[in-house]
C-alpha cells in the first residue's frame, strides 16, 4: 500500500516555528517530523511514500532525496497553488493504482495501520477513516457510526446537547483510487467537507476505524511542546546524541535529549523533559526546564527557561527569564534581564534590547 502525506499548507498555525522551515522538517526530538513519519510507516511495511507539497520543497528534497537512505521510496507531488486535502491527492492520482493511505502532515500517532488496512479490506470499504476520541468534541467535527462501524454522518462542531459521540476524524484515510473520480482536477477540494459527506449520502461503503492509540495534532506551538513532553516522559533517561561538554557541577535530570556538540556549564540545571539541539550552550547557573531548544542556541549566565520553545540560532541574555508557552522563532536575540512570562511569540530575527520587556 502506498502512503500520501499531505504537507501542502503554509503551516500558519505553527508560526513562528514554521516561518523558515517546512512543516515536515520541524524537528521532533532533534529529528525532522518526516523521519518519524517514515519510521512509523515502515513499522507497518509501508515504504512507497508520496509527499504532496506546495512550498519549501527544496528543504525536504535536500534532506530526504529519493528516500533510499531511509529505506523507503519517496515521490514528490508539487502543487502550483493550494488544492486542499482532496485536491492534493487528485494531483498525485497518476501515482495511485490501488488502495492507498492518506495522512494529514501535522499529526503524530501510533494508530495501528495494519489493523486498519485489514478492516478496510474485510469490510470491502471504499473509504476508511481513522477515528480518535477527544475530551471536547464541540470544537471538532465528530463522526457518527452505526453498530457495524459504517459512518452515518459528519457533524461539524456540535452543541453540547447534540453530541452523540466523542470520536473525531483523525486525519488518516484509506481510499480506493476510483474515489478520486469524485474530485475535480486542478481545483481546491477538501475530503472532510466536499467528498466524504457526499459519499455517505450516496450510500458508499464509508467506514470508521476507531482507535484509542496515541494521537496528537501538532499543528500549533503549544501542541508541539506537548508532544515533546509526552514522548520524553515515557521514560526518565538522559540521551546524548554524540559528544558534548558537561561540567561536573551541572545537574541533569531526565528525561533529556542532548544533541551533539552541546556545552553545559558550571552549576547549570537541565531538568527534563528537555531537548537540546546540536551545538547549544547552557552557561553558568542557567536553568532549562521543560523546554525544547533547536540547533545552536546560546543561553547565557543565570538565564531561566521553562516550558518554552526556542528555535535555531537564538541568543538568550544573562538573567533573562522565558516561561510557559513562549515561542521564539529562528535567530531571535533577547537582551539581558528581560522577562517573558507566558504565551508570547517572537518572529524570526527580532532583537529585544536589554531590560526592555517585562511580562
pLDDT digits over 164-205, tens only? 888 999 999 999 999 999 899 999 999 988 999 999 999 999
Q: What is the pLDDT of residue 135?
A: 87
Out of 16-20, 135-139, 243-247, 287-291, least confident range: 135-139
- pLDDT category at 278 given cuts 50, 70, 90 is very high
Q: What is the pLDDT of residue 139?
A: 79
Q: What is the pLDDT of residue 230?
A: 97
Please report, for residues 3, 14, 31, 50, 142, the alpha-carbon distance to residue 74 in angstroms, rounded to integers and kept in the order given. Answer: 10, 25, 18, 6, 33
CB of 332 within 8 A of CB of 348? yes
Torsion of CA 168, 171, 176, 177, to 10 degrees: 140
Mean pLDDT of 327-355: 94
Q: Cell 474515489: give the residue.
A: 179
pLDDT digits over 196-252, tens only? 999 999 999 999 999 999 999 998 999 999 999 999 999 889 999 999 999 999 999
Out of 190-204, 264-278, 283-297, least confident range: 190-204
| Tally of CB atoms within 10 A around 33 | 25
**Domains of the chain, with CATH numbers?**
2-219 (3.90.550.10), 224-352 (2.160.10.10)
DSSP state, residue 63: H
Chain-centroid distance of CA 213 in Å reads 16
Amino acid at each position: 500500500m502506498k502512503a500520501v502525506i499531505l504537507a501542502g499548507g503554509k503551516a500558519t498555525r505553527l508560526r513562528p516555528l514554521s516561518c523558515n522551515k517546512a512543516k515536515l522538517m520541524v524537528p521532533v526530538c532533534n529529528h525532522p517530523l518526516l523521519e518519524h513519519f517514515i519510521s512509523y510507516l515502515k513499522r507497518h511495511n509501508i515504504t512507497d511514500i508520496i509527499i504532496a507539497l506546495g512550498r519549501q520543497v527544496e528543504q525536504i528534497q535536500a534532506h530526504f532525496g529519493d528516500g533510499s537512505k531511509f529505506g523507503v521510496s519517496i515521490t514528490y507531488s508539487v502543487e502550483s497553488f493550494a488544492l486542499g486535502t482532496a485536491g492534493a491527492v487528485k494531483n498525485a492520482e497518476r501515482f495511485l493504482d490501488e488502495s492507498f493511505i492518506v495522512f494529514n502532515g501535522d499529526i503524530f500517532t501510533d494508530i495501528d495501520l495494519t489493523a486498519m488496512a485489514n478492516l478496510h479490506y474485510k469490510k470491502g470499504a471504499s473509504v476508511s477513516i481513522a477515528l480518535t476520541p477527544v475530551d471536547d468534541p464541540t470544537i471538532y467535527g465528530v463522526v457518527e457510526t452505526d453498530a457495524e462501524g459504517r459512518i452515518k454522518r459528519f457533524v461539524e462542531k456540535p452543541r453540547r446537547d447534540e453530541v452523540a459521540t466523542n470520536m473525531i476524524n483523525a486525519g488518516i484515510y484509506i481510499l480506493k483510487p476510483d474515489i478520486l473520480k469524485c474530485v475535480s482536477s486542478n481545483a481546491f477540494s477538501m475530503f472532510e467537507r466536499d467528498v466524504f459527506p457526499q459519499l455517505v449520502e450516496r450510500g458508499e461503503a464509508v467506514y470508521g476505524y476507531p482507535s484509542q492509540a496515541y494521537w496528537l495534532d501538532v499543528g500549533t506551538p503549544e501542541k508541539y511542546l506537548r508532544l515533546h513532553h509526552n514522548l520524553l516522559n515515557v521514560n526518565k533517561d538522559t540521551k546524548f546524541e554524540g559528544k558534548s561538554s558537561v561540567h561536573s557541577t551541572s545537574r541533569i535530570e531526565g528525561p533529556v535529549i542532548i544533541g551533539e556538540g552541546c556545552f553545559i556549564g558550571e552549576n547549570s540545571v537541565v531538568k527534563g523533559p528537555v531537548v537540546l539541539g546540536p551545538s547549544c550552550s547552557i552557561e553558568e547557573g542557567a536553568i532549562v526546564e521543560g523546554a525544547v531548544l533547536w540547533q545552536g542556541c546560546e543561553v547565557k549566565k543565570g538565564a531561566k527557561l521553562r516550558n518554552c520553545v526556542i528555535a535555531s540560532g537564538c541568543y538568550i541574555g544573562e538573567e533573562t527569564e522565558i516561561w510557559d508557552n513562549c515561542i521564539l522563532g529562528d535567530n531571535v536575540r533577547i537582551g539581558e534581564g528581560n522577562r517573558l512570562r507566558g504565551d508570547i511569540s517572537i518572529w524570526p530575527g527580532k532583537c529585544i534590547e536589554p531590560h526592555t520587556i517585562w511580562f
